[in-house]
Structure 1
């Protein structure tokens, strides 16, 4: 039976157009992980674990279980460290390490299970990358708690940078058509280092990160942040070079390619300016809501970029969701410039609540809508494996 064709609504606008539906059916994933640890350690381990997964367990459900593991860790640290700093029971750090390892393992197993049951699809890839995108926000906040970044500039820097690294990789995949991870990369070595940091904190205690490092006047957590940013900057630079090469081969415009990531730069830039110039120091008052708002908007924009890649369509960077966001931001700034609004904590908190509400609703809308539209376009299930596929594909 031919899957139904999705038509483009001229009023509320579906995310998958009629042309995109055709391209979705033809999409074939391309990508490689060149990590030696992934090849020689994680792959054999995951192949062994794969044999214990029941054939009725859907790949997307495996992905979701991994995301729920890191969400549970996030909620635990929300309870103990609402301001992103403070000492937690030792078991919380061990559990955070276990949850992240479970996420990494399940993230690797979902694709293997899809190939094993013959249920691989663009929806699975989109679901996988979508969970990775939101995990950037979850993971950066949990790590900020563990290394005692607190509500200051370090947690903001970590949150913005982790998202930037993920955006750069997605941007490259959009132009090259392939996700090629270098010999040292975030999904493998980066995650394992994060696991080690959590176990180290369980052993040494969180106060270790607030001690002076070998560099006079510089804390251990500052050194950790610096090493993380500098090391991952090489990956971002490689993404940039690969996009340049791809654009040249396609005889396209690199200036146009840059515009594809302009909304991300504007969003992060405005967030940074607000955090720095906030009269009520809103980032310190509501650090988690501030970071979640940025993370949700970033994840939504990333989903648009991923979907454009899967559908083989032009990516339109400036989305309707940004209109109310930029309007409220401009209204807030102009009002303070005119002296209309008093500088009060309640005023800024209200604006942050509005930003968060818009971001949350927009994110939930795109997730539910895209899952429904893609599954309908492809005529597939999301969280179940059809009876006909509940057997090994040799």
Structure 2
């Protein structure tokens, strides 16, 4: 059973990419740089190969972290931590996460799916790397960072589905947010992760200003970074809904109903919180075990599957997917862990720390297989129907022929 019904395949040919970018940095600094940078790639390289190269570098960054700091997140600060120069390599992973459409001036449904799929995976990996750089360690702050990061991505995909265009405001995650992370990685590279443990008022010397010191809590800079991220998320929620509201009003559609399609994400967050905060063992038994990073990676893969289906519904003009089968595993984990509260008996599966870790690793394997199946089937359906290549090298003649085939997918 495929992900694209036969009757929905025709929607691929009607798809048009539409985007709005109001960022000054993007329009006057980054876009000229990206336009020059992608010309360094040979024209015969498949567009999606460049996107995949960005994900590959982030995966390499993640592997580098695991190699240098295998105790990552077992306690605050991990073990000895990687050498400071490693944090500079994380910047390369972000730089290479760019869009091939900047070179060709075109964006088709396959490129849209491929780009969003790689970005969805990058989101979780970069979040884990950033939390390590901020020295947040194994904590609820790291979990909260994952929530905020995924929420922004879900919000953007939800907005694109209902407005028909990707909207980047004056301040957006894919532009200013990424630059902030680049700056954070570079500071960590110079001073190390413990730099962010300093109190913000102490570091800025504002603790000597009585009016400020008496009103503003002197929290650590890494914690203040989390509060700033929360403020940005709240601003994005308001902005995204305003864009959806205006688009729906212009089209004559309902303006309240789209809000219902936001509910699956907070529901999944509540399930993960219930799972982590279960009373069957210690209060934070997954957080304090080697299963925490796999737990976050599992959620990231599940999330990638969810938003992948959302963007697939967008490019094929299908109904918004409210339910996803990947939620089943989170429900099982949360219900099993909370059986002492629900029915007054020990968990059936997670009845010990060892079994909890095994269960997390099992569902991680299931998530990998499920998402890989989704990727293969969707790429196969789209390439077969449109008659285009995905990752294969092409001759100049094939490049020109592909341009003819997808010329209808130009930016508007």
Give 1:41 deviation, angstroms: 1.4
Quote the residue 2:207 is aligned against.
Answer: none
- Does residue 98 of the first structure (1) align with residue 92 of the second (2)? yes
List aligned pairs for 1:1-394, cutoff 5 A: 13-81=1-69, 82-84=71-73, 85-86=77-78, 87-103=81-97, 107-108=98-99, 110-115=100-105, 120-214=107-201, 217-254=218-255, 256-277=257-278, 279-280=281-282, 281-285=285-289, 286-334=291-339, 337-341=343-347, 343-384=351-392, 386-387=394-395, 388-390=397-399
Give 1:163 deviation, angstroms: 0.4
Q: Does structure 2 conserve the Cα–Cα contact (< 8 Å) formed by 1:176 and 1:242?
A: yes
Q: Does structure 1 conserve the Cα–Cα contact (< 8 Å) formed by 2:61 and 2:90?
A: yes
User: Which secondary structure state, in structure 2, belongs to the residue aligned with residue 180 of structure 1?
Assistant: strand
Distance 2:136 2:231 in 1: 18
Give 1:32 deviation, angstroms: 2.1
Report the aligned-residue RMSD. Answer: 2.3
Deviations 1:49-107 (A, max 9, x none): 2333211111100000011111111111122334333432011111112322232xxx1
Q: 1:328 to 1:206 in 2, by over 3 A?
A: closer
Q: Which moved further from structure 2: 328-337 or 136-145?
A: 328-337
Q: 1:274 to 1:332 in 2, by over 3 A?
A: closer
Q: Does structure 2 conserve the Cα–Cα contact (< 8 Å) formed by 1:146 and 1:206?
A: yes
User: Which secondary structure state, in structure 1, belongs to the residue aligned with residue 167 of structure 2?
Assistant: strand
Give 1:325 deviation, angstroms: 4.1
Q: Does structure 2 conserve the Cα–Cα contact (< 8 Å) formed by 1:300 and 1:363?
A: yes
Deviations 1:104-158 (A, max 9, x none): xxx13x112343xx7x421011101111111110110000110011110111000
Distance 2:385 2:154 in 1: 26
Q: 1:209 to 1:371 in 2, by over 3 A?
A: same
Distance 1:302 1:385 in 2: 28
Distance 1:126 1:206 in 2: 35
How many residue pairs get aligned? The number is: 375
User: Which secondary structure state, in structure 2, belongs to the residue aligned with residue 283 of structure 1?
Assistant: coil
Give 1:332 deviation, angstroms: 4.2
Q: Does structure 2 conserve the Cα–Cα contact (< 8 Å) formed by 1:169 and 1:236?
A: no
Distance 1:389 1:113 in 2: 17
TM superposition score normalised by structure 2:
0.85
Q: 1:328 to 1:45 in 2, by over 3 A?
A: closer
Q: Does structure 1 conserve the Cα–Cα contact (< 8 Å) formed by 2:276 and 2:286?
A: yes
Q: Structure 2: which 5+ runs fail to align?
A: 202-215, 408-412
Give 1:389 deviation, angstroms: 4.2
TM superposition score normalised by structure 1:
0.88
Give 1:217 deviation, angstroms: 4.7
Give 1:338 deviation, angstroms: 3.0
Q: Structure 1: which 5+ runs fail to align?
A: 1-12
Quote the residue 2:206 is aligned against.
Answer: none
User: Which secondary structure state, in structure 1, belongs to the residue aligned with residue 141 of structure 2?
Assistant: helix
